[in-house]
Amino acid sequence: MRRRKVIQSETANRDIVTIYFRIAEMAGHSIAERYVNRIETYLSNFNLASERGTRRDELMPGLRIIGFERRVTIAFTVDENQVTILRVFYGGKDWQDDWQDDGEEGE
């Protein structure tokens, strides 16, 4: 099984920070920290079996989408050597509209 390096775009990093503060505001900092840690652990595990999720080439060539704990949608790409986490959408956000509005092309 091939191992790939996992990197997060600046946009994905900002998404995770936003998720943290949104949850912290509603449920407290310790719950937000635990939730974000679970997301980060999940993302780090993309180093193996990277070619998962649903292909969405109509939005961007090579784009893959996968859910996490029914509240998060992760957009990423996979190439020969790495997985790039492009966005991390939270809480029922209409990620397809955000994707198209942002003109996301990866980083």
Tell me if the domain spanning 5-102 has CATH number 3.40.50.11900.
no
CA distances from 77 to 33, 67, 74, 101 (A): 26, 14, 10, 19
pLDDT digits (tens, 9 = 90+) for 10-38: 999 999 999 999 999 999 999 999 999 99
pLDDT band at 107 (very low <50, low <70, confident <90, very high): very low
Average pLDDT in the 57-83 region?
94
DSSP result, 54-101: EE-TTTSTT-EEEEETTTEEEEEEE-SSEEEEEEEEETT--HHHHHHH
Q: How many CA atoms lie within 13 A of 7 on its CB side?
A: 11
- pLDDT (tens digit, 9 = 90+) per residue, 77-100? 999 999 999 999 998 655 666 665
